[in-house]
Amino acid sequence: MILQVGLGDRAAFSALYDATSAKLFGVCLRVLNNRAEAEDVLQNVFVKIWQKANLYSANGYSPMTWLITLARNAAIDKLRARRGGTVDIDDVHDLSDDAPTPEAEAIASSERARLNGCLDELEADKSEAVRRAYLDGDSYQDLAARYDVPLNTMRTWLRRSLLKLRECLSR
């Protein structure tokens, strides 16, 4: 479908929107926890999809990863632009963690189980830091404050965690 969108097919674009906008909106909302902002970002994400779909096949991404990555990156950019504003992280969790849909459970792949397994091999606060960075857009400053460690320490931790994760995933 993305390939058809890349050829400027508006019907395909509309169908792609219908099929994926709820998921991508969920992603934007997970990061931003603000409906109006998430809707703005979602709109921008689909503008980008329309403009860049013609280049999609060259980048090697699987379709859903490409879409989710565009949405998450745009949401995090928005979050960073909001700089200074506070995000109530607990609210964010309330919003989305309690309701995995049947579909989401059904597509829970062995790949994801593997990722979770590898994250669980890290110490608890380290895997949490990785999840916070990805899902909540936490910066090194945010994480250093949360775990009450110097910024450089936080960075060393996280880089080591990434390498361990990579090593585990490649086993």
Partner 1 sequence: MSPEEDHSDDAALAGEYVLHLLDDAERVAFERRMADEPALRDLVREWDEKFSLMMQDIAPITPSAAVKTRLEDRLFADTPRSRSPWWNWLTGGVVAAGLAVGAVLLMPNLISGPDMAPTFTANIAAEDGSLIVTAHFTSGTNRLHLSRQIGDALPGHSFELWLIADGAEAPVSLGVLPEDREALIDLPSELATQMTNAVLAITDEPAGGSPSGAPTGPVVAAGPVTGA
Rounded to 5 degrees, what are φ and ψ at 108?
-60, 105
Q: Which of 1, 25, 87, 125 binds partner 1 (CB under 8 A)?
A: 25
124-131 contacts: CB < 8 A, separation 24 or more?
126/157, 126/158, 126/161, 127/161, 129/154, 129/157, 129/158, 129/161, 130/158, 130/161, 130/162, 130/165
Question: What does the alpha-carbon distance between residue 17 and residue 29 come to, in Å, rounded to a whole number?
Answer: 17
Contact, 143 vs 132, CB < 8 A? yes
Alpha-carbon gap, residue 75 to 37, rounded angstroms: 9
Q: How far is the CB of 130 from partner 1 (least distance, A)?
A: 7
Q: Is 53 in the site for partner 1 (CB under 8 A)?
A: yes
- 26 near partner 1, rule: CB under 8 A: yes
Q: 59 to 88, contacts with partner 1 by CB under 8 A?
A: 59-62, 64-65, 68-69, 72-73, 76, 80
- Of the candidate residues 84, 86, 90, 111, the single one contacting partner 1 (CB under 8 A): 111
Nearest residue (CB) to partner 1, 51 versus 153: 51
Instruction: Out of 1, 15, 87, 115, name the contact with partner 1 by CB under 8 A.
Output: 115
Q: Does 46 bind partner 1 (CB under 8 A)?
A: yes
Q: How far is the CB of 105 from partner 1 (least distance, A)?
A: 9
Q: Considering only residues 129-148, where is the footprint of partner 1 by CB under 8 A?
A: 130-131, 133-135, 137, 139-140
Q: Per residue, what are the HEC states of 4-16?
A: HHHCCCHHHHHHH
